[in-house]
Structure 1
Amino acid sequence: MALKNLLPLFFLVVFVGILAAVGYVVYSIVQDVSKNTKEKMERKHMVFSKDGMKVQVKEIKDEEYKDRSQSVLVNIWNHTSFPAYKSRLWDMGGSDATKSEGGAEKRKPYSK
Structure 2
Amino acid sequence: MGALNLLPLIVLFAVVGGVGWVCYQIFLYSNELASRGVKKMEKKNVVFTKDGAKVGVKEVSTERYTDKTQRAFVKTWNAAQEGGAPVSRSSTTR
Note whether the superposition's TM-score is higher than 0.5: yes
Kindly indicate whether residue 77 of structure 2 is the aligned counterpart of residue 71 of structure 1: no
Structure 2, unpaired ranges of 5+: none
Residue pairs, 1:38-49, within 5 angstroms: 38-49=38-49
CA distance in 2, matches of 1:51, 1:82: 49
Q: Based on CA coordinates, which of the two structures has the bigger radius of gyration?
A: 1
How far 1:80 moved relative to its partner?
2.6
Question: How many percent of aligned residue pairs carry the same amino acid?
Answer: 32
Count of residue pairs brought into register by the alignment: 85
Report the residue type matching 1:71 in the other structure: A
- Who is 2:2 aligned against? 2
Structure 1, unpaired ranges of 5+: 88-112
Q: 1:79 to 1:10 in 2, by over 3 A?
A: farther
- Who is 2:91 aligned against? 85
CA distance in 2, matches of 1:28, 1:79: 60
SS in structure 2 opposite 1:54? strand
Which structure would you say has the larger RCO, counting Cα contacts within 8 Å and 6 or more residues apart?
2
Greater helix fraction, Structure 1 or Structure 2? 2
Q: 1:53 to 1:84 in 2, by over 3 A?
A: closer
SS in structure 1 opposite 2:22? helix
What TM-score comes out, normalization by structure 2 length? 0.69
